[in-house]
Amino acid sequence: MSSLLAPVLSGGLTQFLWMVFGFLVVLTVLVFVHELGHYLIARRNGVRVEVFSIGFGPELFGWNDRSGTRWKVSALPLGGYVKMFGDSDGSSVLPTADVEEMTEAERAVSFFYKPLGQRAAIVSGGPLANFIFAIVVMAVLFATYGQPYMPPEIGRILPNSAAEKAGMQVGDVVTSIDGNPIARFDDIKRLVEVDSGNPMTIVVLRKGEPVSLNVTPKVIEDSDGRQIGQLGVQGSGGVKYTRLSPANAVLHAFSETWNLSTSTLGAMWQMITHKRNADELGGPLRIAQLSGQVAQIGVGALLSFMAMLSINLGLINLFPVPVLDGGHLLFYAAEAIRGKPLGQKAQEYGFRIGMALVLTLMVFATWNDLVHLWRS
């Protein structure tokens, strides 16, 4: 079957419902977290928030809180927004037409009359909330479920590789490299790549007995043009979990967030420079499909998936594209340099260009999703 309706038509109604459920849960939580970051810092800086919306379009249901904010859920669950006092719409790009006619009391609670630093903090609140959410979720998972890792067991040896020439065998468990203890498969890759082809002593456990091997990794050039060492082995594919103390869980969560951020940015740069296939870029349909799959695995898998998406959402929103939070920060940087805001016409043109770029990216990502679903 070649469409989102394929699971239903083939009798997999349960799978389709899981997909819808997983997508709504993931998107609703991540959008709420992102917009809550904007909301909390806006309120902290004395800005009146008129609307906090999950989704776009007609309101399905909502309520007003004591401060006058309308909290609502809207019909189109593909995002959300916080509309602050003085905004012309939920994008917070342009003020209302009568912003200059506000009274002193109204200016005191208007986003557009706040100092530059406060406005930048409010805009940064969304991405910051996404990163904090990811760190908290991963820290909780590492302290309860455990941190996943691949044991340093050799599952495959590539032909004519350095490992094959040195006599490594499938089933060997690497215990040390040049005296450095090995706990997980990633440790092997890290140490071998850094050595850049220098001879090394690798100790493996083979049938319960330690075996010492002299290996000279092959030197290759990676996608970034760096010269790195390659052993020519793959892991066994098994995944184990180790529970961490609360302090270590937080530290590892920070580290994992940083690693995911840098690897994501690196992958996107490779797509831009045509060193990586842009077909890997997924959109809402791919997210919906993956959300349904991980939701069926369990709560831990779903939370881990949400943490990864939250990091991606935070990164994307920091891109210097008008409409996104990074576009706002770009305007504020120009304002800091010029000593005054950009003209309204310049901001309007920037908004239109940014909207066109975002829509183009959405169309491209959705097309990739449809091609992926057609082939699956």
Report, as residue numbers or ranges, the catalytic residues.
Answer: 35
In this structure, the number of other CB atoms found within 10 A of the CB of residue 53 comes to 21
Amino acid identity, position 139:
A
Q: Tokens 């990864």 correspond to what residue?
A: 308
Residue 158: Cβ within 10 Å count:
14
Non-local (6+) Cβ contacts of 372 within 8 A are 279, 282, 286
330, 338 Cβ separation under 8 angstroms: no
Residue with tokens 């002593």: 201
Spatial CA neighbour of 316 closest among 360, 279, 261, 363 = 261
Q: Which residue has the tokens 């040195």?
A: 166
Q: Which helix (H) or strand (E) holds 304?
A: helix 299-317
The two three-digit tokens of residue 148, written as one number: 């996943």
Place of tokens 């309706």: 5
